[in-house]
Structure 1
């Protein structure tokens, strides 16, 4: 089913594409599906920077992506299919589906990203049984209903949540990607050497990043962001050749098992 078709032009100002998504009525009992996938197709004809795209559903981020960086010519089109089966509890209820793709039209940048998002639900059978799924998915986000639910860190982001008393396992997903001077954090140099580097080559604060998840003040998980080489980074042609499709079409999330804290949280 088609979720949305939207042109992102001056979307820094105009905002994201927001649509209402409900579970299908002709694909077996709701929540019994074998799998769910999202299909993102994008086309543009013009010159534009690469732009970050964030999908959220019920205030939960389910996919972070980035566009290609097109130049004027014959245009460009691409399609990416993302498995979102792990978020099945979200898809069993109607809710707002949001795609934020901030873009800007100005002199020298005339590329409009035309997007189509579709969902495919796979009915279960004896051969393909219903997928295993979480009992509940709790958003740890800004809980915004008008923009993507991401937050900038440092310094930190915190939220009070409540989990069921009978919880025996907690899995946390962390989406982390650098922006601005952090976009190529993996090439940054230690502060003590930064003054010796020619201008506009790199940034300070070295090339190591660690994300810590704290629950009730205790470290419940530690994760290390993956390197993401975006299409607009002209320096890294070798990295782009080996990582192009894998990394920026589907920016990998970080996964933490937080089971030990189940016995101490209220």
Structure 2
């Protein structure tokens, strides 16, 4: 089974799509696919489908959705022309104690591959292999084809998973740019960083990277303007001043030339808690 969640949901068995068109069965499949080869409790599936107001028939209705998924999988399994397929749909969507399990192996999962490549990138960055880090993180990010689970009307469980995936994506982007800056690719990342800083108006790390990239490109005034815009957004939206690390970076830009900033990575903002969680998870 091949699973894609880093974009529109797509689940295929023997290359045949088994993603239902109806909203609630799609939610069930999405949650099972995100936790492939793990048991998803019935209570979590019911919360996803009906939040705090499940009908009395919730468990029976959920069983109907599972049956619909199995019907699609049965059709895909029967398509194997050589007759070597011995699995049934119940072997793919497994009824387990307390819940259901989507058995994905053998097969592929884009989110698992993303986690594998991103982990390689983080370890390479820690080892100061900046070229390897940029390459691995770039390959991880290339797996994304849009927003996670695009087109799914998410309930509380899927909404939480989408936030987690998007945070992982943003962290990978930030760390890939960090590797590129260490490799002297400051001009190459300017356009990307400009878009990101505009989108994430209070994200200090991205603004710090944009400041460095501009300064190293000989655009000192613009780098300082980025700091002022970030400070205004932080004060207005969060009631906070920029961090000590970002203030040090601003002073460094005021006092030094681009060549000094290249050798002063410690003056960039420290990784956020989310960065550390993803890199060590």
More relative contact order in 1 or in 2 (CA 8 Å, sep 6+)? 1
Structure label with greater radius of gyration: 2
Q: TM-score, normalised by structure 1?
A: 0.24
Using structure 2 for the length normalisation, give the TM-score.
0.23
Bigger fraction of residues in helix = 2
